[in-house]
Amino acid sequence: MEQKKRRFYIQLMLVGGLILIFGGFIGLVAGSKSPNTISVFIIAGFVMVLFAGLKLFREDAGLVDDERVKKIGAWGLSYSWFLTFIVLFLVFWVNELTLVNLDARTVTVGTILLMGVSAKFFQWYLFRKGDVE
Amino acid sequence: MKTRIKELRARAGMTQSDLAGAVGVRRETIVYLEKGKYNPSLKLAHDVAVVLGSTIDEVFLFDEGE
């Protein structure tokens, strides 16, 4: 029952993603006046399809998300969030005191990379350690 | 925390994979449980004890300080 429910949500995500991509391309072909909206539709659609594909692959490969995996995954994300919070706090003061001139693009890209890489690092470390405590 | 999982599992003639499958977790989780490096949820501790035909306090041994 649980697996059926999971499959249903994955299929829903897949169909939703395909609809967004399709809608985006229709808008593109029809010459929509808001290219930003079309980009958001297509990118969001691709992300949804990608996630659905990854989830399906993990299910088929028998990679059960057991309680340890979920716990470490959640703690890894929490540590990453906290690290990013501290870094953004420092970036704010560095910028406020004009020690370094940072543009929005640099900070945004840096934040995206920091969150992704640090989450993976913390999860890798905790998996090796065995538990979060 | 120490556990008697390895001993009880061997007595029951089960592999780590068998036990993992029976309680619905990955084999790695059983490995870390046996080493005493992972604190399981009450549900997992209960499931492991039931599969091994034992009770939680017989399977998981806590030191006084813990």
CB A108 within 8 A of CB A61: no
Instruction: Show me where the domains of chain B are located.
Output: 2-61
Q: Which backbone phi and psi does B3 adopt, to 5 degrees?
A: -130, 160
Q: Does 1.10.260.40 match the CATH number of domain B2-61?
A: yes
Token pair 């693009």: residue: A105
Checking ipTM against 0.90, whether it exceeds it is no
- Please tell me if residue A69 touches chain B, with a CB cutoff of 8 Å: yes
Pick from B34, B48, B36: nearest CA to B1? B36
CB A125 within 8 A of CB B26: no
Cβ <8 Å between A67 and B35? no
CA distances from B65 to B1, B58, B61, B62 (A): 10, 18, 12, 8
How do the pLDDT tens digits run along chain A, 133 residues long? Answer: 566 787 888 889 999 999 999 998 888 888 877 778 888 888 889 889 998 888 877 776 655 568 999 999 999 999 999 999 999 999 999 989 988 888 888 899 999 999 999 999 999 999 999 888 8
Residue in A67, A129, A130 closest to B41 by CB = A67
State if pTM tops 0.90. no
- Best B19, B27, B39, B46 member to test A by mutation, with max A CBs in 10 Å, is B39
Strands of chain A, DSSP E: none
Q: At what angle do helices A67-96 and A104-129 cross, to 10 degrees?
A: 150
